[in-house]
Amino acid sequence: MKKMLICALGSLLLSGCAVHKQMTPMGGSKADGTIKMGYSYNSREAVIVDMQQASVVAARKCKLWGYEGAEAFGGQTKKCAARSVRGCERVDVFVEFQCTGGKAAEY
């Protein structure tokens, strides 16, 4: 029982230290029907990202371009954006979304 309590308390403490990040549009191409969504974080942070929110934002952008929605593809790309003597200090993360359907996709 003590072990379960310690584990539960440890999990609660660790989750309380996590930083919530929201992806924002970082680029894209109307002609190709792609949206690049991304966020940055300090390499010492525990990050929680709402991928559903990112999908909604990407789909909204695609709809403005005449598509019906958007789907993530290709996984995540991480890049060290700021280095120091201790290593990578800031990481940029990108996820590419493909616009789907709609009249714009027919051309």
pLDDT for the residue numbered 1: 56
**45-56 confidence digits (pLDDT tens):** 899 999 999 999
pLDDT at residue 13 is higher than 50: no
Question: Considering the entire predicted model, what is its pTM?
Answer: 0.74
Mean pLDDT score across all residues of the chain: 84
Placement of tokens 């709402």 in the chain: 50
Give the DSSP H/E element, type plus range, for residue 91: strand 87-100
